[in-house]
């Protein structure tokens, strides 16, 4: 075999290797395109799910508050923002007593701490400085292993009910 034939053979081998490499690259690109499309679809589904969740929580007349085990606010629905007159738009991650009552110390008899300690729902009545009365249910939020990782608070404004009750009982 002369040198020219040897070179032609090597070129044919190189050509075949390049063709295989090109095919592998095309397969990888196709896989990548599928992955990107799938990630876009997952992100879109997540956005839609989050919007549905917020729509439902904001449709509630009662306040919905989610607090983690460090007493940091994770979620407030619109009713909670209005009921507690929350003006700080950066409330996420701040301590609940700072957000709701403007104090640096944990509230005396904090029902959220009791929920964290006992793992049981605590029902309390709270009077806000502006004369509002609230009936609050503080319930444990658990992880998949059953550990208490937070507290969900449902707070209902019962001011009108209490005023009506006072009027009835004062006759």
Q: Residue 45: which residues within 8 A CB-CB, separation 6 or more?
A: none
Q: What is the mean pLDDT of residues 149-166?
A: 92
Q: What is the dihedral of CA 125, 129, 130, 133, to 10 degrees?
A: 10
Confidence bin at 113 (pLDDT 50/70/90): very high
Residue whose structure tokens are 């919007």: 51
In the predicted model, what is the mean pLDDT of the chain? 90
Give the pLDDT of residue 1.
62
pLDDT of 23 reads 84
Mean pLDDT over 130-134 rounds to 87
β-sheet with 73-76: strand ranges across: 73-76, 63-68, 148-157, 133-142, 122-127
Residue 107 has pLDDT above 80, yes or no: yes
> Rounded mean pLDDT of 30-46?
86
Coil/strand/helix, residue 163: helix
Question: Residue 125 forms beta bridges with which residues?
Answer: 135
Percentage helix, strand, coil, to 5, in the chain? 50, 20, 25
Q: What is the mean pLDDT of residues 16-44?
A: 86
Question: Which two three-digit tokens encode residue 70?
Answer: 């460090």
pLDDT-above-90 percentage for the chain: 56
CA distance 7 to 55: 71
What integer is the mean pLDDT of 35-53?
Answer: 89
Which pLDDT does position 19 carry in this prediction?
87
Whether residue 69 has pLDDT greater than 80: yes
């Amino acid at each position: 075999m002369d040198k020219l034939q040897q070179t032609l053979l090597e070129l044919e081998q190189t050509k075949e290797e390049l063709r295989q490499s090109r095919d592998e690259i095309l397969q990888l690109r196709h896989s990548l395109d599928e992955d990107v499309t799938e990630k876009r679809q997952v992100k879109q589904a997540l956005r839609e799910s989050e919007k549905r969740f917020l729509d439902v929580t904001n449709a509630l007349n009662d306040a919905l508050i989610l607090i983690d085990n460090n007493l940091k606010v994770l979620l407030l629905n619109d009713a909670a923002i209005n009921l507690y007159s929350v003006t700080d738009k950066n409330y996420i991650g701040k301590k609940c007593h700072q957000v709701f009552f403007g104090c640096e110390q944990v509230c005396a008899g904090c029902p959220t701490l009791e929920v964290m300690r006992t793992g049981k729902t605590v029902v309390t009545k709270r009077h806000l400085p502006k004369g509002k009365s609230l009936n609050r249910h503080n319930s444990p939020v658990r992880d998949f292993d059953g550990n208490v990782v937070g507290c969900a608070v449902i707070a209902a404004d019962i001011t009108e009910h209490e005023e009506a009750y006072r009027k009835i009982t004062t006759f």
